């Protein structure tokens, strides 16, 4: 299996590392660059056999694939430090939010680049990730990126121009769902349930509903209709939601987040 370097051993880096090892990558084929010494020791302890080093340049030597998982502000400088040690055909996969393919290509000239937008459910191997190919990336590079990011969830291919919309939808999406979870728990309390009971019921309702959605090909409206009997309780609840414009609010939320992603990319 090819050698992989992971630049940045933070939250997302660790999630990817765990996913890759579970997916069968051998620990001694992976190198992680992490600047923080305490964090390096933590990663070494948790992921036995993986080489954890302080410098990006050390990590990328011999790597066929480099995953860039540092904060967006340092992507260029980290890649520039590593550039001299990169092989000419090393695939660079960047997960840095808002950092364009052109920026990564400028810091690692001539290398195939794939830009990815994962989301935090990567921490539990349930990420929704979109990937886009750079100028020098071909189908085999996209396939490699799908395999690497597929270790923490589902991967779809999009043109780079769609990544702002992906950021507004699935990148920010978990926060929308957590807000709904908070509101549902409060609603349970308002209706007289103990908070811990409401909390348990809401977590399981969201999980069960997501699993029902994922399990089949039924569109969400079919699943919704199946729990909405004529004149029943769910119909009354849905009426209140529609009256408050919840559907339009969701459309506005994703549109606002998409526009914000575009603005941040322009800055």
80 CB neighbour count, 10 Å cutoff: 13
- Contact set for ligand NAP, span 94-113 (CB under 6 A): 95-97
18 interacts with ligand NAP by CB under 6 A: no
How many residues touch ligand NAP under the rule CB under 6 A: the total is: 27
34 interacts with ligand NAP by CB under 6 A: yes
Least CB distance to ligand NAP at residue 167 (A): 8
10 interacts with ligand NAP by CB under 6 A: yes
Taking a C-beta distance cutoff of 8 angstroms, is the pair 133, 162 a contact? no
118 interacts with ligand NAP by CB under 6 A: yes
Q: Which one among 58, 61, 62, 72 touches ligand NAP, defined by CB under 6 A?
A: 72
Question: Which pair of tokens denotes residue 114?
Answer: 């794939």
Taking a C-beta distance cutoff of 8 angstroms, is the pair 114, 134 a contact? yes
Q: Name the segment binding ligand NAP (CB under 6 A); options: 30-38, 150-158, 202-210, 251-259.
A: 30-38
Q: Which CB sits closer to ligand NAP, 74 or 238? A: 74
Q: Which one among 43, 117, 142, 202 touches ligand NAP, defined by CB under 6 A?
A: 117
Q: Which CB sits closer to ligand NAP, 55 or 209? A: 55
Q: Which one among 43, 56, 104, 133 touches ligand NAP, defined by CB under 6 A?
A: 56
- Composition of the chain by helix, strand, coil, percent to 5: 60, 15, 25
Question: Which pair of tokens denotes residue 146?
Answer: 């799908």
State the Cα–Cα distance between residues 22 and 4, nearest whole angstrom.
Answer: 15
Q: Which CB sits closer to ligand NAP, 132 or 198? A: 132
120 interacts with ligand NAP by CB under 6 A: yes
Question: Which pair of tokens denotes residue 150?
Answer: 């597929």
State the Cα–Cα distance between residues 143 and 65, nearest whole angstrom.
Answer: 12
Q: Which CB sits closer to ligand NAP, 11 or 247? A: 11
Phi-psi region of 63 (alpha: psi -120 to 50; beta: other; left: phi over 0): beta
- Contact set for ligand NAP, span 192-221 (CB under 6 A): none
Q: Which one among 171, 173, 198, 257 touches ligand NAP, defined by CB under 6 A?
A: 171
Q: Which CB sits closer to ligand NAP, 91 or 116? A: 116
145 interacts with ligand NAP by CB under 6 A: no
36 interacts with ligand NAP by CB under 6 A: yes
Q: In which residue are the tokens 């019921």 written? A: 201
Question: Which pair of tokens denotes residue 37?
Answer: 């010494």
CA dist list (Å): 172 to 120, 179, 251, 254: 9, 11, 13, 8
Q: At what angle do helices 195-215 and 173-190 cross, to 10 degrees?
A: 140
State the Cα–Cα distance between residues 158 and 47, nearest whole angstrom.
Answer: 32
Question: Which pair of tokens denotes residue 74?
Answer: 């340092």
Binding site for ligand NAP (CB under 6 A): 7-13, 33-36, 39, 56, 69-72, 74, 78, 95-97, 117-120, 171
């Amino acid at each position: 299996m090819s050698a992989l370097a992971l630049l940045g051993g933070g939250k997302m880096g660790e999630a990817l590392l765990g996913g890759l090892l579970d997916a069968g990558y051998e620990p001694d084929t992976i190198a992680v660059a992490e600047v923080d010494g305490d964090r390096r020791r933590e990663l070494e302890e948790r992921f036995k056999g993986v080489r954890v080093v302080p410098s990006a340049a050390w990590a990328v030597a011999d790597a066929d694939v480099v995953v860039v998982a540092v904060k967006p502000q340092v992507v260029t400088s980290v890649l520039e430090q590593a550039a001299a040690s990169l092989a000419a055909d090393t695939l660079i996969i960047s997960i840095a939010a808002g950092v364009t393919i052109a920026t990564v290509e400028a810091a690692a000239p001539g290398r195939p680049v794939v830009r990815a937008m994962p989301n935090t459910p990567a921490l539990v191997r349930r990420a929704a990730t979109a990937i886009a190919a750079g100028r020098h990336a071909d189908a085999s590079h996209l396939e490699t990126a799908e395999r690497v990011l597929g270790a923490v969830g589902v991967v779809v291919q999009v043109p780079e121009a769609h990544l702002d919309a992906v950021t507004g939808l699935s990148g920010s999406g978990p926060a929308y769902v957590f807000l709904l979870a908070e509101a549902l728990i409060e609603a349970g309390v308002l209706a007289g349930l103990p908070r811990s009971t409401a909390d348990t019921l809401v977590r399981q309702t969201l999980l069960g509903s997501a699993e029902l959605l994922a399990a089949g090909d039924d569109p969400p409206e079919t699943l919704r209709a199946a729990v909405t009997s004529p004149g029943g309780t769910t119909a009354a609840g849905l009426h209140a939601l529609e009256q408050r414009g919840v559907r339009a609010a969701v459309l506005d939320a994703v549109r606002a987040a998409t526009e914000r992603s575009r603005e941040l990319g322009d800055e």
